[in-house]
Amino acid sequence: MNSVKFLLIKSTGNGFWYDMHHVLTQLYFAEITNRIPVVYWGKNCLYSIDQQSDAFSQFFQPVSQYSIEDLEKPGLTYYPEVWNSENLRDESPALDFECSLDGLISSNADVVVQKDFIEHENIMHWVEKHPMYGFISRYLYSAMLKKYIRLQPLAVDEINEFYNLNMREYPFIAVHIRGSDKVVEVSFLQEINRRYPAEIDKFLKICPNARLFLMTDCSDILEQYKTLYPDIVISTKCKRVVQNGPGSHYQNYEDKAQKGLEIIKDTWLAARCDYFIGNGYSNVSLAITELKDWDNSRVKLLY
């Protein structure tokens, strides 16, 4: 333990795939700084069910053989210096400490703690000899997903059960349409959404017997597409909101883990489809392009 250096990757407290892209970037950061990664999503995580448990492990297997308990051993040193062996699970605003990227990279502390999202492009220029130097985010994230991310058996079972019951017999076009609070980030969201039917029809001409696997956070969008494409739309059962309302990831759930499982189920099922149409400004859509090696002719992201 004395010679081992760690990177503790905490939750940003944002949406699921924003948090996951943070994790994937930091896994790359761990590699270029020769640190062992440990992921801990604490009580600030939108999918946490317990004040003291790790929400990440509800969904995924550990990314290394170590856990946060190993990082809480007395005598270890930490960077930034606001952290210590007794407060690693805390999410107090007083612990929000901005530090430079060069400080994070050059630190000799036993444990570096990272809870803020960093664009992968800002890290890459530090290590040109790394095998993934120069990768665009899609391929970097895809590589990190393949190398480190393993679903827990419960999630795998739910995905397989839905696929075998509903999707095995037909080719599928996965379609991800955002509504609700996404319009705050993307003011022309409705313009993007009006383009989906034309793109769907292009793929249906290529594959006329295809079905649509529709992922959307809005109940009215789901009903609209069931009318537009009768008898070929399927979707998972999950909590949805109305267009222009608050985001579904901010809705109250009795079981917050279920909220995360709904997102996981949709994204992994979409990655098993034959074609995909999504929103280029959405982390969920981007994740679907990263979960498998798509033929680019079968993927359309709308901007």
Axis crossing angle, helix 16-32 with helix 137-148, rounded to the nearest 10: 80
**What is the pTM for the complete model shown?**
0.92
What the block records as the tokens of 32 is 């270029």
Per-residue pLDDT, 160:
98
Please give the Cα distance from 61 to 47 (Å, whole number): 16
Q: Residue 299: pLDDT band by 50, 70, 90 thresholds?
A: very high
For 233, the enclosing helix (H) or strand (E) is strand 233-234
pLDDT confidence of residue 134: 55
Give the model confidence (pLDDT) of 155-214 as tens digits: 999 999 999 999 999 999 999 999 877 888 899 999 999 999 999 999 999 999 999 999
Cα within 13 Å of Cα(162), Cβ side: 21
Delimiting residues of CATH 3.40.50.11340 domain(s) in the chain: 6-148
CA-closest candidate to residue 292, choices 143, 120, 166, 162:
143
- State the architecture of 6-148 in CATH terms: 3-Layer(aba) Sandwich (3.40)
Q: Are 177 and 215 in contact (CB under 8 A)?
A: yes
C-alpha span between 116 and 283 (Å, rounded) = 16
Residue 251: is its pLDDT beyond 70? no
Strand order in the sheet with 172-177: 233-234, 211-216, 172-177, 275-279, 299-302
CA distance 11 to 91: 9
pLDDT at 2: 59
The mean pLDDT value for 216-230 works out to 96
Q: What is the CATH number of domain 153-302?
A: 3.40.50.11350
